Copies of this chain bind each other. A is one copy, B any other.
Amino acid sequence: MSDYAPVKTALIGLGPRAETLLASIFNIPEEMEVVAVCDLVDAKIEKILSLFDKRGRKRPTAFHDYREMLKMPSIDVVLVATSWNSHLGIACNVMRAGKYVAIEVGGASSIDELWQLVHASESTGVSCMMLENCCYGRNELMVLNMVRQGLFGELIHCACGYEHDLLRMAKEYTEGIERAIHNRYRNCDLYPTHQLGPTAKILRINRGNRFLSLTSTASKARGLTNKAEELGIKDENGNRLVFNMGDVITTVIKCAGGETITATHGVTLPRPYSRDSRVQGTKGIWMEDTNGIYIEGISPSITKIDIAGNPYTVHQWTPVEDFYEKYDHPLWKRYKKNENEAHGGMDSLMLRALAEAVRTHTAPPIDVYDCAAWMSLTCLSEESIALGSMPVSFPDFTNGKWINRGKERPSRWSLNEVFDI
């Protein structure tokens, strides 16, 4: 038994993502208890409530209006899983009600809405966490651990991405699904944080480093438009339904520390899933797509002979799994060693960290400056693409605090210091 009470939690926006979050929350009853849920749609409320019944848990109070819900004094933290166009405004109002807030992943539509988020946090003293579960992936945490131990040397270049066949969005468009609508009208890295998040943590963004500038380039857009045609789906006027989103969006970020990051977004072509992870330093490299890590002096090299009889060296990848036993992150070792690694595995670590922040009134490990920096990739890539791949600069949402933030390393390890080891 833990020596604390579970954090009283509310959920706003009861779609599929709320369901998976709830499944993870049910797995850590000592950390979080859902006391309120909110959605505009009755059917979604009913579905969520039925999940409580199924698991034999006490039903939370249900609301249609989140402002009413925020009047419940018992609520400690609110998880916002509403639309990308609404969640930042809601998050500001939650903070103004004096409660911690955590938003689902997504990108911003403007730099202004991110400044508003920062101002809401700074003026109220509560924080906003992003529910970026991929920061808690086993490989991401292990590589972070190895980087902090110096195995990769000085970091030089990273890559990240979200490449996932979501061609079903052509049909989802007709159902009013938000991401499909964004894919029709916008042209940008729409969904950047799944791997930009862990990458930013590894590069200590907002803690001694920051994103400086980017260029972004869009390929032509064919996938969703073709799919809509194939399915006979037309636009509002009976014309061809054309999606604006380039099938592959490539963004290159330059950091204050001199590191570069290539970020790729591609959700409208058939292909296996990848988050394109790459972390490269002067001593080693991890690449998700090779499932390999190369560390100088640890990974093998062999000598071959070319056609003219001269020798050359072939460096070889070490499988990622070979490093688990020695380099798994302390957090992973503590909580996950004996669990399966389903989607929920990352989520429960993330939610434990949020609960600790709320309970101890400290900043969550992914804070409002991280939210702002990571989400700004979307509107900045949109700007660069609109300007023919012109470089555009990132605002410094910390107003200079990034230089000294994170310099005081934690004296003891806790959930909220997971990325600071």
Chain A positions within 8 Å of B, measured between CB atoms, are 16, 19-20, 22-24, 154, 156-157, 165, 213, 215, 217-220, 222-223, 226, 246-248, 250, 252, 254, 257-260, 262, 264, 266, 269-273, 280-285, 287, 289-290, 292, 294, 296, 306-310, 313-317, 342-344, 347, 388-391
B residues in contact with A23, CB < 8 Å: 307-309
A287 / chain B contacts, CB cutoff of 8 Å? 289
* A218-B292 contact in complex given A156-B269, A223-B282, A285-B271, C-beta closer than 8 Å: no
CB–CB B315/A16 < 8 A: no
Copies in the complex: 2
19 A–B contacts, CB within 8 A, in A order: A19-B308, A20-B310, A156-B222, A157-B250, A165-B315, A215-B215, A219-B258, A222-B282, A226-B282, A248-B280, A254-B389, A262-B262, A270-B282, A270-B283, A271-B294, A272-B316, A273-B314, A289-B289, A306-B342
Candidates B157, B262, B284, B347; contact of A270 at CB < 8 Å: B284
State how many angstroms separate the Cβ of A270 from the closest Cβ of chain B: 4
CB distance from A86 to the nearest CB of B (A): 22
Residues in chain B near residue A296, CB distance under 8 A: 270
Contacts of A258 in B (CB 8 A): 219-220
Contact of A154 among B222, B250, B266, B290 (CB under 8 A): B222
Contacts of A165 in B (CB 8 A): 313, 315
Evaluate whether A20 and B390 lie within 8 angstroms (CB atoms) in the complex, with A220-B259, A270-B283 already known: no
Q: Is the CB of A391 within 8 A of B215?
A: yes
Other contacts beyond A215-B217, A247-B282: 7, CB < 8 A: A156-B223, A157-B266, A219-B258, A250-B260, A252-B252, A262-B262, A287-B289
Contact B307–A24 (Cβ < 8 Å): yes
How near does chain B come to A192, taking the closest CB pair, in angstroms?
Answer: 16
**Are the CB atoms of B343 and A306 closer together than 8 Å?**
yes
What's the minimum C-beta distance from A350 to chain B, rounded to whole angstroms?
13
* A388 and B306 form a contact (CB under 8 A): no
- C-alpha gap A202/B23 in the complex (Å): 47
Contact (Cβ within 8 A) B269 A285: yes
Contact B19 A310 (CB under 8 A): yes
Closest to A281 in B: B269
Of all chain B residues, the one with the shortest Cβ separation from A287 is B289
Given contacts A23-B308, A252-B217, A307-B20, contact A290 B292 (CB under 8 A): no
Q: Which B residues touch A248, using CB under 8 A?
A: 156-157, 260, 280
B252/A250 in contact, CB under 8 A? yes
- Bound CA span A148–B152, Å: 41
Q: Is the CB of A271 within 8 A of B315?
A: yes
Bound: A289/B290 CA distance, A: 5
Among B290, B307, B315, B391, contact of A388 (Cβ-Cβ < 8 Å): B391
Residue on B with the closest CB to A168? B313
User: Is A260 a contact of B391 with CB atoms below 8 Å?
Assistant: no
Q: Which residues of B contact A156 (CB under 8 A)?
A: 219-220, 222-223, 247-248, 269
In the bound complex, what is the Cα–Cα distance between A289 and B161 (angstroms)? 15
Known pairs A215-B217, A282-B269, A307-B343; A390 contacts B388 (CB<8 A): no
For the complex of A and B, list the 4 residue pairs with the smallest distance between their C-beta atoms, beginning with the closest: A220-B258, A307-B344, A157-B248, A19-B308
Inter-subunit contact B389/A16 (CB<8 Å): no
Give the docked Cα–Cα distance between A215 and B317 (Å).
Answer: 30
Q: How far is the CA of A154 from the CA of B316 in the complex (A)?
A: 34
Q: Are B22 and A308 in contact (CB under 8 A)?
A: yes
Q: Shortest distance in angstroms between A380's beta carbon and chain B's nearest beta carbon?
A: 13
Alpha-carbon distance A306/B270, docked complex (angstroms): 21
B262 and A250: CB pair below 8 A?
A: yes
The answer to whether A389 and B213 touch across the interface, beta carbons within 8 angstroms, is yes
With A and B bound together, what is the CA distance between A23 and B318 in angstroms?
33
Q: A248-B280, A270-B283, A342-B307 are contacts. A219–B316 as well, Cβ < 8 Å?
A: no
CA distance A142 to B51 in the complex (A): 51
Give CA–CA (A391, B387) in the complex, Å: 10
